[in-house]
Amino acid sequence: MKRRRTVVVTCLLPLALVGMSRVSAARQEEAAVELSEQGRRLLAKYTDVLDSLKADVTAALPAIDEQRRAAFLSARAALAGLKEPGEDGSAEAKLEYRDRKERAESDALQSARAVLANVEQFLDDGSRDPKLMTIAILMHATPRGLAEFAQQGTGEEALLDGLFGDTALMEQVLLAGGANGGEYGEAMQVYAAIQEASERARKPGILQRLALGTALQQPWLASKEKGGVYGTVYTDNSTPDGQVSRYLHYEKAYLNGELDPAFRDMNTWECRFITNDPYTDEELGWTREMLRNYRPDHITNPDYKWRYVRMVKSDVPYCSPDWRPDEGTTKVQQIVAGGGKCGPRAFFGRTLARAFGIPSRRSTQTGHAAMNHWTPDGWVVCFGAWWSANWCGPWGGLDFLLESQAREHPEEFRKVLRAQWIGDALNEEDVSIRQYGQGGGLWNALAFYKKRAVVEDARIEALELAGGMKLGESDDLLGDEGGEQIVIRDVDRKIVVAEDGTITVPAAACASPANSTERIFFMNSLEGEAQVHYSRLGERPELLKYYIEVAKAGRYAMTMHMVTVARQQSCLLRLNRRTLIDVPLPYSKGMWQETEQVTMDLREGRNTLMLTCRTPNRGVSIKHFTLTPVK
């Protein structure tokens, strides 16, 4: 659906136009698409509807106490007038600025509360929502933009008529942040295409929310200028396989039980941050299967700050990348195998979360790349500095954090949106989503402080950093690498001897260690079978020791059933304290595979087999060993 027009967005307007409505600014620009006779008719139609609804809403607005209004505007002006000391400022000046800013922010919030109390009944009344929502969409999309889309044919016009005629759909769209770049027509096309491809997307529930979120989050089309987004949702990547394919990929994964249990309860806004990954459907599927095989403990980690994304720390080295596309590997496989610095690690961290249905967004920081992702207790920053230091496109970290926290209280958040919609009706300037709380007209400012009040009243606390900048730019240990100790069942320790003399030794059947250590982890697969992981991180090599009883001495061929995610590795076996045997580990690209056979002479009775990995190693997970008599 190639874009045929260019709309200059608010944050890119020249200073002379600041404060003008989005519609009037759009009308003054030179249109990239010529309107047909039908387009001109539609432009007049949408413009008349907008003007009429604005007049109705404006006439119904409550009177605001002038003293409270003045106090609020004065408090905001005082806050905006504070000047932060430069880097060469004294410690005393910086401390004084911090104290003054805290007082000014408190004064602004308290004065906003007074005005909000004055208009609380109006904001609590949803009877005007159909008019307000129609205004919001018309302002965001612009009548001209909608006319350019609808003039293409009766089908396109019908899509917009369907949106404006469906109050519940408009509400869901706007609660989810609106269409990226004002592309409501294109978003409805995608939504319709997804529902045509999937009956499940038409029924209430997570898959309908996923379908709409995927459609709304489509990347801005070819000639779209990047900048602020009305709904404060932003994407800077395309979905390689397309929106319909991406939705169907997740539907299949959900029905197969491959996604996180929390996925089914995600709202439409959160779904936008799941399906907009820049890697292919194939790579998302590989990521899930690889983690199931290689590090299932990351999937079942009870700490959602580290669930899935812990693999960035455990298995993606912080180094100059050694990527080898000639090996037939995908981009994601190259990052895991070849490592990388902050950027590739953050890319893969986001893919890990999204692959399992956990919302994630990029977190750009000065000279650094990190990530943010959802947890049941709120969004968290991984591998980087605090929210105040990060942004995603035009959206600052602090504003995103506030938005995500306020959204945890949907009924109160509707009042936030109503205040924003009233601001639209009055042609107000938006509050900056980059410069926290700055700018904006009266009602948009009230919307911002309503979010502040919701969060303060609910006593919502932001989560601590996961990893922080130091661990985002290093291979330092986190200190809890052993993870949870598991109970190893007798069946997982049972060595089995077949009739032909073949011996199968479960990896968990070792005599030592008895429990997980810094480098050797016992973990359960998602099917409940124990397996052993030898980690790439740790201070020194460690040993796995096995005792193997053999009825008759002879020569045996050994293979390991294992999985690796990096190339050029090997293990070292020591048999009966004397014989050293090198075992090359194939690069299995995250899938279970057998090593090549190595032969050894076992004596009658007990044999001692010790295994370690050569340093530097990149990690290997082992299910079992097979010792087959050589005839």
DSSP character at residue 432: P
Q: How many CB atoms lie within 10 A of CB 490?
A: 6
Return the closest-CA partner of residue 24 out of 364, 428, 502: 428
Average pLDDT over residues 225-229: 42
Q: Which two tokens stand for residue 187?
A: 């978003």
Tally of CA atoms within 13 A in the half-sphere of 532 that contains its CB: 32
For residues 200-226, average pLDDT: 82
Own/partner pairs, 291-295, CB within 8 angstroms, 24+ separation: 291/352, 291/590, 292/525, 292/526, 293/563, 293/590, 293/591, 293/592, 293/621, 294/533, 294/563, 294/564, 294/565, 294/590, 294/619, 294/621, 295/523, 295/533, 295/621
Cβ neighbour number for residue 567 with a 10 Å cutoff: 17
Amino acid found at 261:
P
Of residues 435, 409, 293, 285, the one with CA closest to residue 357: 285
What residue ranges define each of the domains in the chain, with the CATH number in brackets? 1-10+38-60+127-223+240-272 (no CATH), 277-408+460-476 (3.10.620), 490-629 (2.60.120.260)
* pLDDT score at 484: 73
The DSSP-derived string for 46-71 is HHHHHHHHHHHHHHHPPP--HHHHHH
- Picking from 488, 490, 416, the residue whose alpha carbon sits closest to that of residue 454 is 416
pLDDT recorded at residue 485: 82
Q: Which of 171-180, 338-347, 461-470, 546-555 has the lowest mean pLDDT?
A: 461-470
Residues in the chain: 631
Number of H helices, E strands in the chain: 21, 17
- How far is residue 456 from each of residues 105, 402, 405, measured CA to CA in Å? 13, 10, 10
| Percent helix, percent strand, percent coil in the chain, to nearest 5 | 45, 15, 40
Compute the mean pLDDT over every residue in the chain, rounded to the nearest whole number.
Answer: 90
- How many Cβ atoms from other residues are within 10 Å of residue 168's Cβ? 7
Question: Rounded distance, CA 207 to CA 250, Å?
Answer: 9
Structure tokens that stand for 343 in this block: 């950027």
pLDDT bin (cut points 50, 70, 90) of residue 466 is: confident
Distance CA 595, CA 557 (A): 11
Is the whole-model pTM more than 0.85? Answer: yes
Bridge partner residues of 496 (DSSP):
504
| More confident position, 87 or 359 | 359
Confidence of residue 238 (pLDDT cuts 50, 70, 90): confident
pLDDT at 475: 79
**pLDDT average, residue stretch 219-224:** 53
Structure token pair of residue 385: 């500095």
Q: Where are the alpha helices (DSSP H) in 465-624?
A: 468-472
pLDDT at 266 over 70: yes
Instruction: Please give the average per-residue pLDDT across 309-334, as a whole number.
Output: 93
For 395-452, write each residue's pLDDT tens digit. Answer: 999 999 999 999 999 999 999 999 999 999 999 999 999 999 999 999 999 999 999 9
Percent of the chain with pLDDT over 90: 80
What lies within 8 Å, CB to CB, of 357 at 6+ separation is 250, 253, 254, 259, 260, 262, 263, 266, 274
Spacing of C-alpha 74 from chain mean position:
38
Residue scoring higher pLDDT (10 or 415): 415
Tell me how far apart the alpha carbons of residues 467 and 455 are, in angstroms, rounded to a whole number. Answer: 25
CA–CA gap between residue 596 and residue 78 (Å, rounded):
73
Q: Mean pLDDT, to the nearest integer, of 337-347?
A: 94
> What whole-number distance in Å separates Cα of residue 339 and Cα of residue 502?
39
pLDDT, residue 26, reads: 39
Burial class (CB in 10 A: 0-12, 13-18, 19+), 59: exposed
More confident residue, 90 or 469: 90
What's residue 32's pLDDT? 66
Q: In what order do the strands lie in the sheet with 579-585?
A: 544-550, 605-613, 569-575, 579-585
Assess whether pLDDT exceeds 80 at residue 542.
Answer: yes
Q: With bands split at pLDDT 50, 70 and 90, how would you rate the model's confidence at 464?
A: confident
The arithmetic mean of pLDDT across residues 191-205, rounded, is 97
